[in-house]
């Protein structure tokens, strides 16, 4: 844990101030959206004026969550707030340039996160890197500070924790994580229904995208590294949207013998987004991504790298090769 405040101090701010903005990182995942909705709904129940922004808006796969219409894209003109609550975001810039540009000066900034690469920017910072999801931190905040919970908030927190733990499968999942999940079920979460909405309701185009990616799947370094790449041309041909790619990398990380999985996504002719996943803590993909200005967790990280797809692939594989070479010999 690396923090400059307590949950009680954050809870006091939530009780005392009135105008709140809740934000999370662009290209939001389930943890980012779940936390944003849970915080927004909690503040509403406290009688606060609440705005929830995301640079990219609400991914359609989370529209089933209660209060999902709270999440909007930022406006064109600056807005003043008493408090800005930044959730599940390692680096403030990942909130998005358009979002940052329309937050008027003068607000108190709260930073609640679980990424090891968090930049610790904020007036009150609470970063718990042992938490497998930011949603777990929010539950602890709500419980310790006697803040509103209930079924709707519980649904969002369950979605946040479930998606960021790989349905409670990742090594960062702890006994406390399961205890929190049980508490959320007692609040009314319908496990079967919410899991179906999260994991069994994807559009057909996502399956077509998965097929296209498997067509270009490659294995390198003695099959220890699996990777695939998505070009703009293929994404356009399939009508894929950015959210369709979320989680597809897990399919190749599961392959026996693979230590690191890599997804290259062409954002433009000269900008590539990379996502890395590891299943061995000795292969710290956060350190690999940090060499390209990115970050995340030991087993899951990402970055955006200027260059063509082939150039970026060559650079990333070179760094991965160096880290593989440094592994202890068995």
Output the pLDDT for position 1: 62
pLDDT at 2 over 70: no
Q: Which fold has domain 204-325?
A: Diaminopimelate Epimerase; Chain A, domain 1 (3.10.310)
Alpha-carbon gap, residue 3 to 87, rounded angstroms: 14
How deeply is 179 buried, as exposed, middle or buried, from its count of CB atoms within 10 A (0-12, 13-18, 19+)? exposed
Q: What's the average model confidence in pLDDT over 93-97?
A: 95
Task: Choose the most confident range, by mean pLDDT, from 38-42, 90-94, 245-249.
Answer: 38-42
pLDDT digit string (tens) for 96-133?
Answer: 999 999 999 999 999 999 999 999 999 999 999 999 99
Its sign, for the CA torsion 230, 231, 237, 240, is positive
* Structure tokens that stand for 180 in this block: 């929190």
pLDDT value at 330 more than 60: no
What count of other Cβ atoms lies within 10 Å of the Cβ of residue 222?
9
Note the Cα 286 to chain centre separation in Å.
14
Neighbouring CB atoms inside 10 A of 247's CB total: 18
* Edge-first strand listing for the sheet containing 218-220: 218-220, 225-230, 260-268, 271-278, 300-306, 295-296
Average pLDDT score over residue span 275-292: 95
In this prediction, residue 204 carries a pLDDT of 94
Please tell me the least confidently modeled range out of 49-58, 238-247, 303-312: 238-247
% the chain with pLDDT above 90: 95
Cβ-defined contacts of 178-187 (< 8 Å, 24+): 180/136, 180/139, 183/139, 183/143, 184/139, 184/154, 184/157, 184/158, 185/154, 185/158, 187/149, 187/150, 187/151, 187/153, 187/154
Section 319-330 average pLDDT: 88
Residue closest to 52 by CA, chosen among 76, 75, 77:
75
When pLDDT is cut at 50, 70 and 90, the band that residue 284 belongs to is very high
Rounded distance between C-alpha atoms, residue 128 and residue 208, angstroms: 38
Query: Looking at residues 197-222, what average pLDDT do you find?
Result: 95
What are the sequence ranges of the domains in the chain?
7-199, 204-325
Fold type of domain 7-199? inorganic pyrophosphatase (n-terminal core) (3.90.1640)
| Res. 3 pLDDT band, cuts 50 70 90 | confident
Q: How far apart are CA 174 and CA 176, in angstroms?
A: 5
pLDDT score, position 328: 79
């Amino acid at each position: 844990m690396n923090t400059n405040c307590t949950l009680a101090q954050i809870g006091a701010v939530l009780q005392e101030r009135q105008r709140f903005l809740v934000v999370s990182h662009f290209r939001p995942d389930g943890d980012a959206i779940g936390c944003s909705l849970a915080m927004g709904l909690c503040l509403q129940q406290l009688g606060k004026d609440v705005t929830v922004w995301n640079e990219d808006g609400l991914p359609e796969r989370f529209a089933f969550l209660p209060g999902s219409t709270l999440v909007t894209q930022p406006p064109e003109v600056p807005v003043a707030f008493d408090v800005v609550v930044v959730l599940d975001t390692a680096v403030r810039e990942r909130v998005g340039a358009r979002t940052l540009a329309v937050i008027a000066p003068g607000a108190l900034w709260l930073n609640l996160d679980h990424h090891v690469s968090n930049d610790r920017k904020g007036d009150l910072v609470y970063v718990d890197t042992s938490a497998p999801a930011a949603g777990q931190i929010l539950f602890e905040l709500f419980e310790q500070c006697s803040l509103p919970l209930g079924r709707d908030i519980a649904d969002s927190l369950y979605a946040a924790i479930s998606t960021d733990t790989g349905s409670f499968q990742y090594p960062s999942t702890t006994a406390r994580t399961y205890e929190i999940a049980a508490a959320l079920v007692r609040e009314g979460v319908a496990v079967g229904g919410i899991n179906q909405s999260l994991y069994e309701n994807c559009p057909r185009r996502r399956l077509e995208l998965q097929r296209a990616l498997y067509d270009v799947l490659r294995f390198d370094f003695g099959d220890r590294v699996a990777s695939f790449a998505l070009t703009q041309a293929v994404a356009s041909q399939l009508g894929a949207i950015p959210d369709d790619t979320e989680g597809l990398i897990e399919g190749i990380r599961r392959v026996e013998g693979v230590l690191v999985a890599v997804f290259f996504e062409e954002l433009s002719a000269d900008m590539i987004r990379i996502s890395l996943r590891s299943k061995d803590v000795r292969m710290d993909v956060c350190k690999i991504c940090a060499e390209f200005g990115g970050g995340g967790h030991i087993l899951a990280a990402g970055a955006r790298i200027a260059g063509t797809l082939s150039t970026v692939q060559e650079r990333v594989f070179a760094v991965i090769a160096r880290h593989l070479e440094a592994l202890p010999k068995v």
